[in-house]
Structure 1
Amino acid sequence: MADIPLYACAPRYIRTIAFPHVLVLIDYRTGRVRCLLPKSAAHWQDAARSGHLTAMPLPLAAHLLHVGALRPTSKPVSWGPPVSAPAPAPSWGSAEHPAGLTRAARPFTTTAGAALAATWAIERAGSRKSVMNRLILALRASVCAARRPASPAEATEAVLSIRRSAWHAPVRTACLEESVAAVLLLSAHRLSVVWCHGIAADPVRLHAWVQTVDGGPVAEPPSTLDYTPALTIGARHQQHP
């Protein structure tokens, strides 16, 4: 405890989302999610405004420094406030949140398989702890290749083609893999969409999806609107962790 610095700030790869009952920290190096209950969340907010670690109890400050959610600074540096998220409607554990249930036609069939294979290769190209970071780097690189935004029809065809191929995949393919592969598939055709990674509460859960540059979620159920975006990559909406 004696080595706790006086000042610290949250690195850019940490995104915070504030629900009324919990503050969620997402580490986009590792994909790790941590939650701070209201009392600890209030200490985080105080430290964010002042840059002083004295605003936090020493055990909490030591833990956040140890896991990389904070890093020491030589002087007080305030960091941005968390993204505000609305209070979730009470579900009592019974709410259903479907995703990706629409069956696909046959567009981009061959390249869809290649995009999925590329996504899986990126995931397995290094340490499991840095999977999210590698995927984000690949997404950033792919959006630079686009020449024009994908139309809603083009984006929908790509997402559903990826989803169709994923149903026959021998490895795990969830929303993260599907959404990344859809971006890679469209970038192969020099088309762009916005990749989104968001969070919802009650319970705290994550979801990844794509949306058109000027529109809403592509081939997603209405429940996707319950998610507050924490990170978006693509077009002018791009954010860097």
Structure 2
Amino acid sequence: MTDVPPFARAPRHVRAVAYPHVLVLIDYRTGQVQCLLPKAAAHWREAARSGRLTTMPQPLAAHLIRTGALSPTREPASWDAPLSAPAPAASWGGSEHPAGVARAAGPFSATAAVALATTWSITRVGGRKRAMNRLIRALQASCSATCRPASSAEASEAVLAVRRTAWHTPVRTACLEESAAATFLLATRRLSVVWCHGIAADPVRLHAWVQTVDGDPVAEPPSTRAYTPALTIGARHQHRL
């Protein structure tokens, strides 16, 4: 086995969200997601406090370095503790979530189509491993050029315009593409929202959405509040990687 360096730290583009039963790591350069069970999560927290890998099992440390979750350093340097997330509600074997999709009423929007095309080109032109990183950089750039926060009505209009227009396109449009396109669409009007990417547990799942600067999810079901934001971009909440 390759020798493990004594010191390492988590890069800024790796975010950790801690639930009582699992620690979720998201690499926002590659989009890779890893889950550490409690014993491995305890080793991550200890390393975060000390910057040392000497107490971490070698196979775990080697895996985290190989996957980019940790980067070797010359000296010990601590990094931020994982973001704490609330324990998921007991599901007793099942839980209720909105099923299926509902078509949003309204006309096709040419500007929404341009925003969707922009999103698809960012994620599909270039190496797939860096698609998430390219999208995040584009979102940061678009949000930096805005003049004022979008109102709830303006933000909802943009999200629904993207949602309606996506029905007329042959390309996959899920929450990631929809939320990014809505953010780009508002940015063309110099309006900002907060783009969010978050995690929910039991089972572990990811979701992307937009919310107003006051923290209200836009055109989202109540179940979106079960997600803990791991990364937010826009307005005063912007977190650069």
Q: TM-score range by the shorter chain?
A: over 0.9
Distance 2:136 2:182 in 1: 14
Give the CA deviation at 1:3. 2.6
Per-residue CA shift, 1:122-144, capped at 9, x if unaligned?
Answer: 11111111110010011011001
**Paired position in structure 2 for 1:170:** 170
Amino acid at match of 2:51: G
Give the CA deviation at 1:94. 2.6
Instruction: Tell me which moved more, 157-166 or 99-108.
Output: 99-108
Q: State the 4+ residue runs in structure 1 displaced beyond 3 angstroms.
A: 99-108
**Paired position in structure 1 for 2:209:** 209
Flag structure 2 segments of 5+ consecutive residues without an equivalent. none
Distance 2:215 2:82 in 1: 24
Distance 2:212 2:112 in 1: 18
**Paired position in structure 1 for 2:112:** 112
The answer as to 2:192 corresponding to 1:192 is yes
**Paired position in structure 1 for 2:21:** 21
Give the CA deviation at 1:4. 1.2
* 1:98 match: secondary structure: coil
* 1:55 match: secondary structure: coil
**Paired position in structure 1 for 2:221:** 221
Amino acid at match of 1:203: P
* 2:54 match: secondary structure: helix
Give the CA deviation at 1:71. 0.5
Per-residue CA shift, 1:139-174, capped at 9, x if unaligned?
Answer: 011001211110000000000010011122201100
**Paired position in structure 1 for 2:87:** 87
Distance 1:191 1:183 in 2: 9
* 1:157 match: secondary structure: helix
Distance 1:109 1:99 in 2: 26
Amino acid at match of 1:147: C
Amino acid at match of 1:187: A
The answer as to 2:37 corresponding to 1:37 is yes
Taking every aligned residue pair, what percent have the same amino acid on both sides? 71
Flag structure 1 segments of 5+ consecutive residues without an equivalent. none
Give the CA deviation at 1:106. 3.7
Distance 1:100 1:71 in 2: 41
Distance 1:100 1:235 in 2: 32
What's the RMSD between the two structures over aligned residues? 1.6
Q: Is the 8 A contact 1:18 1:84 kept in 2?
A: yes
Distance 1:10 1:107 in 2: 46
Distance 1:101 1:171 in 2: 16
Amino acid at match of 1:215: G
C-alpha spacing 1:237/1:20, structure 2 compared with 1 (3 Å)? same
Distance 1:12 1:111 in 2: 34
Per-residue CA shift, 1:40-66, capped at 9, x if unaligned?
Answer: 000111111111101200000001011
Give the CA deviation at 1:240. 1.8
The answer as to 2:119 corresponding to 1:123 is no
**Paired position in structure 2 for 1:69:** 69
Instruction: Tell me which moved more, 211-220 or 104-113.
Output: 104-113
**Paired position in structure 1 for 2:147:** 147
Q: Is the 8 A contact 1:108 1:158 kept in 2?
A: no
Amino acid at match of 1:37: L
* 1:34 match: secondary structure: strand
TM-score (ref. length: structure 2): 0.96
Q: Is the 8 A contact 2:45 2:81 kept in 1?
A: yes
Q: Is the 8 A contact 1:116 1:162 kept in 2?
A: yes
